[in-house]
């Protein structure tokens, strides 16, 4: 028998890859700018992330050298554009460990990705496994972004199905106690955020997915706030669909992703009709291309896809485990720092465990709008309002919140600037 000497400290973290945040910052031209005479402290990456030069350059280079339409040209630049577009798809597929690039559908954003599923379900022939009818149920959660609430409300209205939801505990976690009752034989779909855009909570997957699959329901994850910040492996997660959006992960606006298990996408009816999504068209009827083309009617956002591919390359070069670790350390620091601000109430988990770098809070007696405005006057950019997630604000009894959200370029000095800015806010409103 051998004895193992356990070293001091936290050796389990020794192997975590890290990066030099100053080197990373140098890749983001905008981080050098000033706001109202102060160096910009950008703490709104949950809203949209900044873009590294690598992404900006890739898009410019594509437009300057390779622009053509995709999938419908025999000429050289058309071929190059097609290769670039499909190459981006392959990069994204690999980034999320999809089994084939055919599982990656490019959309306009996460919102559209969720809507594609909702409309494909309502376009499904009665009796198909995607079709909903009165008596069926869809389960979401109280911490969803409006993009993962409204499409399901509308689907329920169209089909007569019923919308139900997980509630959220005071600590900012999904209340899974009623899992068995909530997800039952009537449930057709469970859709919720992998990471909350308000509370920062990382939600559990395996228990919910196991229960959903046990009763024959599909599982969709809104991974908009997950894919940019941590390694996401769709095969490992075992869910059926995920949605995310390019602009929150160093990519451009105008491109999002729907990932779906291939056998499901292959069976789902199309949503938008038009060019590129067909197999053959006659005046009477059409047949449709296999996925992903079936769900990409019309000329897609080609340059944006190239930008997203470059973003994925960038993130991969940093290593998503390093990104995750960087944000975990920042979050731990920020939770401690914000705890020193008098009158500050944090919404969501108050330990850096099972949560990401998104911190929403209220400052006693000062409306978030005013907080945001005064922070802006000293260069600190945060989001204020209901964050497109009004139900969770109501859950905590507030009309709005102030949110600081971090990313791979955020520094502890920026967290300090936030805390100093909050001092300023208190002075004005004292």
Partner 1 sequence: MQIDQLYQEIILDHYKHPHGRGLREPFLGEAHHVNPTCGDEVTIRVATDGASFSDISYDGMGCSISQASASVLHELLTGRATGEAFRVVDGFVELMGGRGQVTPDEDLLGDGVAFAGVARYPARVKCALLPWMAFKDAAARAGVDPAAPSSAPSPSAPSSSPSLSTAEAQEAPEVKA
Ligand X SMILES: Cc1ncc(COP(=O)(O)O)c(C=O)c1O
Tell me, rounded to whole angstroms, the distance of Cα 370 from its chain centroid: 27
Site pattern 209..228 for ligand X (x: CB under 6 A)? -------------x-xx---
Q: Which residues contact 366 (CB under 8 A, 6 or more apart)?
A: 425, 426, 429
Which structure tokens are listed for 244?
């995310």
Min separation Cβ 30 and partner 1, Å? 20
Question: Which own/partner contact pairs does 422-426 have at CB distance under 8 Å and 24+ positions apart?
Answer: 422/341, 422/344, 422/363, 422/371, 422/375, 423/341, 424/374, 424/375, 424/377, 424/378, 425/363, 425/366, 425/370, 425/371, 425/374, 425/375, 426/342, 426/343, 426/363, 426/366
**The only residue of 180, 373, 413, 423 in contact with partner 1, by rule CB under 8 A:** 373
Strand partners, 363: 344, 366
| Range in contact with ligand X (rule: CB under 6 A) among 21-29, 103-111, 134-142, 368-376 | 103-111
Min separation Cβ 254 and partner 1, Å? 22
Q: In the β-sheet with 344-347, what is the strand arrangement from edge to edge?
A: 344-347, 358-363, 401-405, 383-385
Q: What is the largest CA-CA distance in the chain?
A: 78
**The only residue of 110, 230, 271, 330 in contact with ligand X, by rule CB under 6 A:** 110
Site pattern 117..156 for ligand X (x: CB under 6 A)? ----------------------------x-xx--------
**The only residue of 77, 177, 281, 428 in contact with partner 1, by rule CB under 8 A:** 428
Min separation Cβ 13 and partner 1, Å? 40
Strand partners, 278: 288
Please give the full DSSP string across 125-182, using - where no structure is assigned.
PTTSTT---TT-EEEEETT--GGGTHHHHHHHHHH--EEEEE-B-TTS-B--TTHHHH
* Position 197 contacts ligand X (CB under 6 A): yes
**The only residue of 399, 413, 420, 423 in contact with partner 1, by rule CB under 8 A:** 399
Tell me, rounded to whole angstroms, the distance of Cα 416 from its chain centroid: 26
Q: Are strands 383-385 and 401-405 parallel, antiparallel or unpaired?
A: antiparallel
Say how far apart CA 150 and CA 236 lie, in whole Å: 28
- Please give the torsion angle defined by the CA atoms of residues 112, 209, 265 and 143, in that order, rounded to the nearest 10 degrees: -10
Measured from the Cβ of residue 127, the count of other Cβ atoms closer than 10 Å reads 7
Site pattern 13..52 for partner 1 (x: CB under 8 A)? -----------------------x----------------
* Position 390 contacts partner 1 (CB under 8 A): yes
* Position 169 contacts partner 1 (CB under 8 A): no
* Position 393 contacts partner 1 (CB under 8 A): yes
**The only residue of 150, 388, 398, 419 in contact with ligand X, by rule CB under 6 A:** 388
Query: Which CB atom, from 88 or from 114, has the smaller least distance to ligand X?
Result: 114
* Position 400 contacts partner 1 (CB under 8 A): yes
Look at residue 293 and give the partner it binds from ligand X, partner 1, none, a contact being a CB closer than 5 to 8 Å depending on partner kind: none
* Position 379 contacts partner 1 (CB under 8 A): no
Look at residue 110 and give the partner it binds from partner 1, ligand X, none, a contact being a CB closer than 5 to 8 Å depending on partner kind: ligand X
Specify whether the CB–CB gap between 318 and 19 falls below 8 A: yes
Look at residue 201 and give the partner it binds from partner 1, ligand X, none, a contact being a CB closer than 5 to 8 Å depending on partner kind: none
CA 39 → CA 1, 44, 45, 207, 219, distances in Å?
Answer: 59, 15, 16, 45, 43
Min separation Cβ 377 and partner 1, Å? 4
Look at residue 373 and give the partner it binds from ligand X, partner 1, none, a contact being a CB closer than 5 to 8 Å depending on partner kind: partner 1
Look at residue 399 and give the partner it binds from ligand X, partner 1, none, a contact being a CB closer than 5 to 8 Å depending on partner kind: partner 1
Query: Which CB atom, from 254 or from 379, has the smaller least distance to ligand X?
Result: 254
**Is residue 388 flagged as an active site residue?**
yes
Options 156, 250, 388, 393, the catalytic residue: 388
Residue among 98, 410, 411 nearest 240 (CA): 98
Q: Which residues are catalytic?
A: 388
Contacting positions for ligand X (CB under 6 A): 109-111, 145, 147-148, 193, 197, 222, 224-225, 245, 256, 388
Contacting positions for partner 1 (CB under 8 A): 36, 366-370, 373-374, 377, 384-386, 390, 393, 399-400, 428-429
């Amino acid at each position: 028998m051998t004895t193992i000497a356990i070293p001091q400290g936290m050796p389990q973290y020794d192997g975590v890859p890290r990066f030099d945040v100053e080197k990373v910052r140098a890749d983001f031209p905008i981080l050098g700018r000033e706001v109202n005479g102060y160096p910009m402290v950008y703490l709104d990456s949950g809203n949209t992330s900044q873009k590294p030069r690598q992404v900006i350059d890739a898009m410019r280079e594509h437009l300057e050298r390779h622009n053509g339409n995709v999938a419908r040209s025999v000429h050289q630049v058309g071929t190059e554009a097609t290769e670039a577009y499909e190459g981006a798809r392959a990069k994204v597929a690999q980034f999320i460990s999809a089994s084939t690039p055919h599982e990656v559908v490019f959309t306009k954003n996460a919102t559209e990705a969720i809507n594609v599923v909702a409309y494909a379900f309502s376009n499904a022939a009665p009796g198909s496994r995607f079709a909903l009818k009165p008596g069926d149920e869809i389960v979401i959660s109280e911490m969803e972004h409006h993009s993962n609430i409204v499409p399901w409300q509308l689907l329920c209205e169209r089909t007569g199905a019923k919308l139900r939801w997980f509630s959220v505990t005071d600590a900012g976690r999904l209340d899974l106690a009623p899992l068995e009752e909530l997800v039952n034989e009537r449930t057709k779909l469970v859709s919720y955020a992998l990471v909350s855009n308000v509370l920062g909570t990382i939600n559990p997957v395996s228990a919910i997915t196991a229960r959903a699959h046990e009763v024959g329901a599909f599982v969709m994850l809104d991974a908009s706030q997950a894919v940019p910040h941590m390694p996401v492996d769709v095969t490992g997660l075992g869910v059926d669909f995920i949605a995310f959006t390019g602009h929150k992960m160093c990519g451009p606006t105008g491109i999002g992703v729907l990932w779906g298990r291939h056998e499901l996408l292959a069976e789902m009816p199309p949503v938008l009709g038009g060019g590129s999504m067909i197999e053959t068209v006659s005046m009477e009827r059409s047949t449709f291309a296999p996925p992903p083309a079936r769900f990409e009617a019309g000329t897609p956002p080609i340059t944006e896809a190239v930008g997203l591919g470059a973003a994925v390359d960038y993130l991969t070069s940093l290593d998503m485990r390093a990104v995750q670790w960087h944000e975990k350390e920042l979050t731990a620091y920020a939770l401690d720092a914000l705890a020193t601000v008098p009158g500050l109430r944090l919404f969501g988990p108050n330990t850096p465990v099972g949560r990401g770098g998104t911190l929403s809070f209220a400052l006693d007696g000062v409306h978030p709008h005013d907080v945001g405005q005064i922070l802006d006057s000293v260069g600190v950019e945060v989001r204020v309002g209901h964050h497109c997630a009004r139900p969770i604000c109501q859950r905590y009894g507030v009309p709005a919140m102030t949110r600081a959200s971090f990313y791979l370029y955020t520094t502890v000095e920026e967290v300090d600037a936030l805390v100093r800015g909050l001092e300023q806010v208190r002075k004005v409103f004292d």
